[in-house]
Structure formats: structure tokens, C-alpha cells
Structure 1
Amino acid sequence: MNKIGAVFSGQGSQYVGMGKELCENFSVAKETFQEANEKLKFDLMKLCFEGDENELKRPENCQPAVLTLSTAFYRVFSNEFGIKPRIFAGHSLGEYSALTCEGSVSFSDALAMVKKRGELIGKAATTTDGTMAAIIDINSDIIEDYCNERKNDSGILSVSNYNTEKQTVISGNVGLVDEAAKYFENIGATVKRLNVTGGFHSLLLSDAAVKFKSFLEDYEFLDPKQEVISNTNGLPYKNGKDIKEKLVKQIVQPVKWVDTMNYFLRTRIDTVIEFGPKKTLRNFFRSLDQKLSTFSYDDPENFNEVRKQLKDASIIAEQYRDFIQRCISIIACTKNNAINEDMYKKNVIDTCEEIRSIEKSIITYDSNTLELCRRVLQLTQTALDTKMIPQIEREERFKELIVKSGNYELESMIDRFCRVL
């Protein structure tokens, strides 16, 4: 459990009672719900814990509700272990949770965004004749071709979600979706009509996207420090401006979740944890690669298993050894501009040997581990000084260490170190 990817649940995963036990056991979760109550000016906590199911299902309510629970789960995880996932991604609405927990947008601003997003989508749903259906066990290319052949000036039909290799969701006008459902059932597919109020992730929501774009003009996103994957193309966001543009596009474009999961695999993520209600995304990843360790924080058994594993000091130590290996790699991969061979041997070759000795000494995590890592940073700086690496390049190398630290304690330590360079 060294390379963790965090994924965040989308709309439709909500249920009455969600978060109640979490808030009873973890004060940071209760504080997260209270923060949401104050921002939204209504009792979201009561709605989630004991409210009416139909009221919770309304887009303007379920979107901030899912965001809040997802953030609460992540804060519990972060506070308890201090581990920072390598990659963040969210399914549709879950993308806002991913951006919040990564740090690209504040929880308060994200609440305002998803509240407005829900209102606009909810209004669009009442003025457009839309619905959705999941097509199972039919290749997505065949579904795409069908949609392209059937859509016309009198209606909209398109793929809205590429969830797994075997599950593709279509969205559009009710009549066209019903026709498609019957067609695919007749050729052997399993079809599930979704209990939704509109044709989400399709051009039926074009008006909502235009209005949401105007709404987002009052908000700014920070450039992500960690990789956050966009639903629109299954690739990391480039910067804050890119985030804002793609969140608008996401309303009318399909969720490319298969591409997102494949990106996780390409970057060799070995553990995926879903933060949010239910365990849909965990199951999507399991269908893709059964070798992955996959967990849902809303599953009590999964929750306890993650906590058990991460409390193992030897597993935590892996993160610190990985950091030390990155330091060695930085020293080895930077160009040598040094002239004095004796200094080079002493401050580069011998320094690397000392760093490797420190790495071997870290068997389990204890109170001295962070201090050893601080010593490694000092040795790395000495080696880079000796190799006469330009200051700008040095700063970039240390920023790379921060991004790939995978640990909030390490990130803070590296950041403090860089401030006094």
C-alpha cells in the first residue's frame, strides 16, 4: 500500500443515513458537516442522517451532500495517517471532491459550486425531456455508432459515461433512449434504466453549462500539486484555468472513467481507496484489474482493513524509503558541473552511500524517521551544491519531491527546508 490513488463518488450514490456513524466516531467528520451547514444555510447533516429520500435525491441537495461526506471521509483518512495519495479522481460530481481534497479549491467554494451546479442541472431536467440508461455487455464502439446513427434534429442521444469495459451509459431524449434500450436488449445486452431526472452529460444540459460558466467566473482554482484527473479526457489537469474550462465541458460531455482507471494503472498505482457513499467506483476498479488493492471507506470491513494496514509501521516506512530513493535518483540524474574530483567523491559519491545506509536503517516508522529524512535532504542539498547545479533547477527538483512525497508530514518538512535554501 505504497502508491495510493484516491477516487470520489458521484451523484446517485447518496442514501439516507450516510455519514451518521462516521460523525459519531470522528470529530473531524462532524466538523465537516457543521461547516457545510453554515455555508449552505440549512441542516445538511439532518437531511443526510434522517431526511426524506426524495428530498435528498434532488440535485441541489444530493450534490453538496455527497461532496460533504466524501470530504469528511478523506479528512478522517488524512488526519489519522497523514498519507497523501499520488493521484486524485472523481466520477462526475466526485471531481469536485477530488479537487477539494487535493487542495485546488476550498471546501467552502466547492460547496457553493456544486449547490449551483445542482440547481442548474435540476432546472434543466424539468425543462428537457431527458433520461439515461446503462448498457451492459456491449462494446462501447457499437453503442457510439448506434447513437451517431439515431440522433437527429428532433432529439439528442449520446454516450454519457464510459464506466467500465462492460458498462456504458447513454443519455438523451426519453423516446430515443427507450428505443436504444429495446434495441440493445434484443441483441443480448442487459439494460438498466437509471432513476434520474434528466439526460446528464449530454447536450440537453447546454443551457445549464452556459450559465455555470458565468457562475464560475467569480471563482479561482489553484494549480494542482498532485495529479487530478479530468473526466473529459482521462488525463491530469494542467492548471487552474484548465480546471475551470473542463468543469464546464464536463456538464455536456461524457465521463471517461475507463480512461481514468487506465491512467491509474499506467502510473502503477497499487491501491485505490474510494471516499464517498457506497462502493461503486471500488467495484469499477475491481472489474478492471483484480490485482489492485481496492477499498471503499463507506464499507465498514474495507474501512477497518485500510486502518489496520496503514497502522502497520513497516507499511508507513515504505513511504519514507520511497522518498529517500527519489533523493538518490535526483543526485544521480542531475548533470555534474564540478571540477574538483576529491570534493565530488566526498560530497556526492560518499554522500549517496550515507543516504543508502539511512534507507536500509528505516525498517519501521518511529519517532526518529522524519529526522533521518531531514538528514537525507541536507545530504541531497550538499551533493547538488557540489555538482554546481543552478538554483532554479535545484528548486524544481525539490518541488518534485514535494509533489511526489505521498505524505503530508514529509511534504511539510520539505517545504520548510526549501524556505531556508
Structure 2
Amino acid sequence: MIKIALLFPGQGSQYNMMGKALYESSPEVREIFHRTNEILGYDLLGIINEGNMEKLTRTEYAQPAIFAYSYAIFQSICKEKKFFPSFMAGHSLGEFTALTCAEVFRYEDALRLVMERATIMQQATSDGFGGMAAINGLHPLLVEEECERVSNGEDKIVVANYNSSNQVVISGANSLVKVATENLAKIGAITIPLKVSAPFHTPYLELSNQMFQRAIAQTQMAGLKWPVISNVDAKPYYHPAEIRDRLNVQMTSAVRWKETIDYMLRQGVNTFIELGPKTALTNLIKRDFSHVRAYSYEDNYEQIMSIIDEQVAEKRPSVVSRSLGIAVCMRNENWDDAEYQKGVIEPYRKIQALGNKLEEEGREESFEDIKQAIEMLRSVFVTKKVPLEEQKERFTQIFDETKKRHLFDDFAPIMFAEKEVVNEK
């Protein structure tokens, strides 16, 4: 079974003329950029195409440009193909793109958030004060120790991104970033200065973060169409309240990208597709996981379209059959025979009979059939004392594997009922 995760890059991936071919070939993309210009109040595509890389690198231009281009790519693919991503994740700025593509934010609202975020991040420090650098080839603990060693009472640097098993990004006062990169290079690191204009994901942005929290509080959010993984803790969002809470600290927290990829791999993702400029996220995966398929839109468009076709053609199991399978494989932590009989065996046998009936009659499961299966599985989870986080993951897995993600919110009150006592380890 093909399980796809869509990845959206962050700042630093921008380049002159990005998106030009897509803009010229797609009326829908031209409309997206037209709406973008109206909201921004300036010609974003003009800035992308004018050839002034120094200007495009400035945060207030780079972030809206990457966001708009990445979103346009997603919309152009959705127009051509109906496909079923298991997860979405974005690196820093890219998390806002992922949430927008998952329909948490309206595009216009998200663009205003990105504008606000970019402006206050750019203003967080004076020009030239902040810097960032990628550190390759050393264990993250060594880099953390160096950051602590060179930081002082006035200035500091921290690890801002945990990108892969052998790459982290340091961020903070530019003078200290230079000292740390020189020291780390002496013990074998390969260091690369990043094209950014502020010390992202550091305490220097605390005041900016407080300002941005007000913008988040005023922005409407809807339910997730697809699961999105948070940068802050590398766990999926399930409700808008969780999104707001974690976005409130994203700007000053480290991006846990390696943990994000690890989580999706544990959930069975076997294909990663990067939608945005360049190939940074694709390259990180290929270096760490040679057995995993990873593609970037700009380099592998034809392969991506072919994979989506393969996924659409796959025969998917029913919610009833997957619920039965998951009910059986869940570890039991409840040894009360009476509770187990009532909460596991009886509901399981009822849905097992339903599954047999559906197979005999050769008919598709109905909404009511799905409801009964979910109620059974919820009963099994509660009785077996399955941790709440694992319950959420399993329910998400079912609706993903059966191509019924569009029904997820309809059954959320059953899946995430709070009246039962659950084991939240």
C-alpha cells in the first residue's frame, strides 16, 4: 500500500524565477498569485522574477513567496489528481503551508498570518545581528555543547533545527554563529551559512512571538482534512485547539524535523513528496533513509504523477475490516474477565458478524456500518486501556487506509469521546 506524506519547505529554499513555468502554464496558479498580490499590496511575482536575490532573501518577501508557490503547486496537483496523503508536514514556515493545504486555514487568512509572521520576525533584531548555519557531520549533542560554550550573558546561539541524524542548524547572534562554525569545522563539521536575515527559532524572537500569538488568536481555523505533524513536538494535530497552542510557541521552539520523519515512518509512510522550491527536504530523507522513496516536485514531477496514479488504483479495505484487524492486535492491559467480555468480545463478535454479512451480500459498507465499527473499536480501546495517543493514531490510520478521510470529522465525537476513562500514558 502506498502511503504518501507531503512535505513543504521553509525559508532558505527561495530562488529567483521560482514558479515561473507553473505560473505560465496554469490559469489556476495565475489566479492564486493574483489574489496573493491583492492581499500583499505589491507584486510578489515581480519580486521573485526581478533577479534581486538579496531582496528576495529578506524575510518579509521570502516567506510569502515560498508559501504562495508551495500552495500553488499543491493546488495544481489536486486539480489533476485525486489522491490521499497520509500526512502533511512543513519545515518552520512550511507548517503554515501544510495547515493551509489541509484546509485548517483559508488561503487568504493564512497569507495574512504569513505576512504578519514574516514582518515581525524580520523586525525582531537589527539587520546583520542574527544568523543561522547548517552543521553537518557531527552528533547533535556536540553542537549543543558548543552553542552553550560560546553563548554569554549578552548574546547566545542555540540549535534551532534538528534536521537529520547528522545535520542540525544553529541560530542566534551572527558573531557567535561564526565563532561556533569555525570551532565545529575544526573537529570535522561541514558548515553552511544560510540565506536568512534573522535568528529564527531562538529566544531572540520571544517578543515577536507574543505579538504573533495575537494574530493566531484572531484567525479562524477549521478541522483538518488530513493529519499535519507539528514542528514543536513531532506529533500530529487532531483539533484546532491543539494547533493554536503549538503554533503559539513554534517561532521560538526548535524544529524537530528528524523526529517528524521518524514518526511518519513508524506510521507506515513509504513515499515522501516535497512540494515547494528546491529539494532540501528530499535530500535530508535520502541521506538518512536510502530505502524510502523521496521525490521533489521540481525534479521528479513525472514520477510523482505516476505514484499518485498507482495509489488511486489501489483497492482499499473497508473500515469494518480494518477495525476488526486493529481490535485484535491491540495489547490488553485489563485483566477483569467481566469487563473484557462486555467491552471487547461481545462488540467484536457483533462487528465480525456484520463484516461476514457485508461480504456475503457483496455490498459496500454504509455510514451506519462504519459507525458501528468505530463504536466497537472505541469500546475495545477503552476496555484494553490503550493509551489515548495510540487510539488517535489508530483511528487516523483507519480512515487513511480506507480512503475515507473525508468522514473523519463525522465520527470524531465517537472516537474522541471523553466520558470513558482512558489510559493516558
Q: TM-score, normalised by structure 1?
A: 0.80
C-alpha displacement at 1:304, in angstroms? Answer: 0.7
Which position in structure 2 is the counterpart of 1:28? Answer: 28
Cα pair 1:130 1:173 within 8 Å, conserved: yes
* Residue 286 (structure 1) shift: 1.2
SS in 1 for 2:314: helix
Deviations 1:199-244 (A, max 9, x none): 2111122221122122323113334353211111211235323322
Deviation at 1:139, TM superposition (A): 0.5
Q: Distance in 2 between matches of 1:382 and 1:200?
A: 45
- Alignment match, 1:303: 301
Q: What's the secondary structure of 1:125's corresponding residue?
A: coil
Residues 385 and 228 (structure 1), Cα distance of their counterparts in 2 relative to 1, 3 Å cut: closer
Go from structure 1 to structure 2 and tell me whether the alpha carbon gap of 1:381 and 1:206 turns closer, same or farther (over 3 Å shift): closer
Q: In the superposition, relative to structure 1, how do residues 209 and 384 fare at CA in structure 2: closer, same or farther (>3 Å)?
A: closer
| SS of match in other structure, 1:320 | coil
- SS at structure 2 position matched to 1:264: helix
Q: CA deviation at 1:262?
A: 0.8
Distance 1:330 1:47, change over 3 A: same
Q: Give the counterpart of 1:318 among 311, 314, 318.
A: 314
Aligned positions of 1:329-348 closer than 5 A: 329=325
Alignment-derived partner of residue 368 in structure 1: none
1:199-210 to structure 2, matched below 5 A, reads: 199-210=199-210
Deviates more, 1:26-35 or 1:83-92: 26-35
Q: Percent identity?
A: 30
Preserved contact between residue 231 and residue 260 of structure 2 (Cα < 8 Å)? yes
SS of the residue 1:162 aligns to: strand
- Cα offset, 1:382, TM superposition: 9.7
Q: Describe how 1:407-418 pairs up with structure 2 within 5 A.
A: 410-412=404-406
Q: Which letter maps to 1:326?
A: R
For structure 2, the 5+ residue unaligned runs are 331-339, 383-390, 413-425
Distance 1:311 1:242 in 2: 33
Q: Distance in 1 between matches of 2:39 and 2:132?
A: 32
CA deviation map 1:153-181 (0-9, x unaligned):
12111111111111111111122212111
Aligned to 1:380: 369
How many Å separate the matches in 2 of 1:382 and 1:321? 16
User: Kindly tell me: are residues 412 and 92 of structure 1, through their superposed partners in 2, closer, same or farther at Cα, counting changes over 3 Å?
Assistant: closer
Q: Deviations over 1:365-390 (max 9, x none)?
A: xxxxxxx6xx2236835976999x99
Q: Which residue of 2 aligns with 1:227?
A: 227
Structure 1 residues 190, 321: closer, same or farther in 2, change over 3 A?
Answer: same
Question: Is the 1:19–1:49 Cα contact (8 Å) retained in structure 2?
Answer: no
Q: Choose which of 355, 364, 368 in structure 2 pairs with 1:352.
A: 355
Q: 2:265 — aligned with what?
A: 265
CA deviation vs aligned residue, 1:309-356 (integer Å, no higher than 9, x gap): 3334xx423263466743654898999989xx9xx99x8656524655
| CA spacing shift, 1:382–1:255, aligned 2, 3 Å | closer
Question: 1:286 is matched with which residue?
Answer: 286
Whole-angstrom distance in 1 between the partners of 2:268 and 2:155: 42
Structure 1 equivalent of residue 73 of structure 2: 73
Q: How many residue pairs were aligned?
A: 391
1:242 maps to which residue?
242
- The yes-or-no answer on 1:43 pairing with 2:43 is yes
User: Residues 201 and 253 of structure 1 are in contact (CA less than 8 Å); yes or no, is this contact kept in structure 2?
Assistant: yes
Q: Aligned pair 1:55/2:55, yes or no?
A: yes
Q: 1:298 to 1:81 in 2, by over 3 A?
A: same
Amino acid at match of 2:182: K
Q: Alignment partner of 1:94: what SS? A: helix
C-alpha distance in 2, partners of 1:179/1:145? Answer: 13
Distance 1:121 1:383 in 2: 49
Deviation at 1:195, TM superposition (A): 2.7
Q: CA RMSD in A?
A: 3.7
Q: Give 1:366's aligned residue.
A: none
Mapped to 1, the partners of 2:402 and 2:57 lie a distance apart of 35
Q: TM-score, normalised by structure 2?
A: 0.80
Preserved contact between residue 320 and residue 373 of structure 2 (Cα < 8 Å): no
Take 2:313 and 2:20, find their aligned partners in 1: how far apart are those partners?
33
- The CA deviation at 1:261 is 1.0
SS at match of 1:211: helix
CA, structure 1 residues 327+244, in 2 after alignment: closer, same or farther (shift >3 Å)? closer
